[in-house]
A and B are shown apart, each in its own frame.
Chain A
Amino acid sequence: MTVQPHRRAVLFVTCIVDQVHPNIGLAAAELLERQGVEVVVPRGLTCCGQMAFNAGFRDDAYAVAGRTIEILRNQGDVVLPSGSCGAMIRHLYHELFHGTRHEAAAKELAQRTYELSEYLVDVLGVTDVGARYDGVIAVHDACHGLRYMGLGRQARILLDHVAGARIVSLPGSDECCGFGGLFAVKQHQISEAMLQRKLAHIAECGCDLVVTGDSSCMTQIAGGLSRSKSRVRACHLAEVLANRVGLGG
Chain B
Amino acid sequence: MATHTIAFVERVDGALHDPSLQTALERATTRFIGNRAKAVADVDNFEALRHQARAIRAGALARLDELLARLADNVERHGGRVCWAEDGAAARRYILDLAQQRGVRTIVKSKSMASEEIHLNEALEHAGLEVIETDLGEYIIQLAGETPSHIIAPAIHKTREQVRDLFVQHLGMEPTDDIPTMTRTARTALRQRFLQADMGISGVNFGVANEGAIVIVENEGNARLTTTAPRIHVAIMGIERICESFDDLGVLLQVLARSATGQRLSVYTSIISGPRRPHEPDGPEEFHLVLLDNRRSEIIGGKYAEALMCIRCGACLNACPVYQSIGGHAYGGVYSGPIGAILTPLLQPDLPDAHKLPHASSLCGACEWACPVKIAIPDLLLRLRADAVNNGKYEGYEPPAMFGWRQAMMNPALYRLGGKMASFGTHLLARNGQVRWLPPPLDGWTKQRDFPPFAPKTFTELWEERKKQG
Contact = CB atoms under 8 A, between A and B. Distances in A.
Interface of A: 13, 15, 17-22, 24-26, 29, 41, 43-44, 46-47, 49, 51-58, 60, 63-64, 67, 92, 95, 143-144, 146-148, 174-176, 178-181, 183-197, 219-220, 222-224, 226-227, 249
B307 interface: no
23 contacts: A13-B459, A20-B455, A22-B457, A46-B409, A46-B415, A47-B409, A49-B409, A52-B405, A57-B402, A63-B410, A143-B362, A144-B364, A175-B364, A179-B362, A181-B362, A183-B362, A186-B444, A187-B360, A189-B12, A193-B326, A220-B449, A226-B434, A227-B436
B13 interface: yes
Interface of B: 9, 12-13, 16, 321-322, 325-326, 359-366, 368-369, 379, 382, 385-389, 394-395, 398-399, 402-403, 405-406, 408-410, 412, 415, 419, 422-423, 434, 436, 441-442, 444-445, 447-463, 466
Given A19-B458, A60-B405, A179-B362, A195 B449 contact: yes
B449 A180 contact: no
A54 B399 CA distance: 14
Nearest to A196: B448
A183 B415 contact: no
B360 A190 contact: yes
Given A57-B402, A64-B410, A186 B448 contact: no
Contacts of B389: 55-58
Nearest to B458: A18
Prevailing SS type, chain B contact patch:
helix
A178 B362 CA distance: 6
Given A52-B402, A175-B321, A22 B462 contact: yes
Q: Give the top 5 A-B pairs by smallest Cβ distance, nearest first.
A: A180-B362, A56-B385, A188-B444, A223-B449, A176-B364
Contacts of A178: 321, 362
Contacts of A18: 419, 458-460
B452 A143 contact: no
Given A176-B364, A192-B449, A193-B325, A41 B463 contact: yes
B130 to A, nearest CB: 39
A197 B364 CA distance: 15
Contacts of A95: 379, 382
A184 to B, nearest CB: 6
A74 B458 CA distance: 26
Contacts of A191: 362, 444
B452 A20 contact: yes
Contacts of B453: 20
A58 B461 CA distance: 30
Contact of B460 (A41, A185, A222): A41
Contacts of B363: 54, 143-144, 180-181, 183
A184 B445 contact: yes
B406 A52 contact: yes
A185 B366 contact: no
A21 B452 contact: yes
B410 A197 contact: no
Contacts of B463: 25-26, 29, 41
Given A46-B409, A192-B448, A226-B449, 5 more contacts: A20-B454, A26-B463, A185-B441, A187-B12, A194-B362
Contacts of B388: 56
A44 B362 CA distance: 29
Contacts of B436: 227
A43 B455 contact: no
B365 A144 contact: yes
Given A18-B459, A56-B388, A189-B12, A183 B361 contact: yes
Contacts of A220: 449
Given A19-B455, A60-B406, A176-B366, A188 B321 contact: no
A184 B402 contact: no
Contact of B366 (A24, A54, A175): A175
B70 to A, nearest CB: 35
Contacts of A24: 459
Given A54-B385, A176-B321, A183-B361, A193 B16 contact: yes
B410 A67 contact: yes
Contacts of A190: 12, 16, 322, 325-326, 360
A97 B359 CA distance: 22
Q: Which of A29, A53, A181, A187 has the most CB of B within 10 A?
A: A187
Nearest to B369: A147
A21 B426 CA distance: 14
Contact of A57 (B365, B398, B419, B450): B398
A189 B442 CA distance: 13
A19 B455 CA distance: 6
A153 to B, nearest CB: 16
B38 to A, nearest CB: 17
Q: Which of B16, B359, B423, B453 has the most CB of A within 10 A?
A: B359
A191 B325 CA distance: 9
A33 to B, nearest CB: 11
Nearest to B419: A19
Contacts of B455: 19-22, 249
Q: Which of A64, A220, A249 has the most CB of B within 10 A?
A: A249
A55 B442 contact: no
Contacts of A176: 321, 362, 364, 366
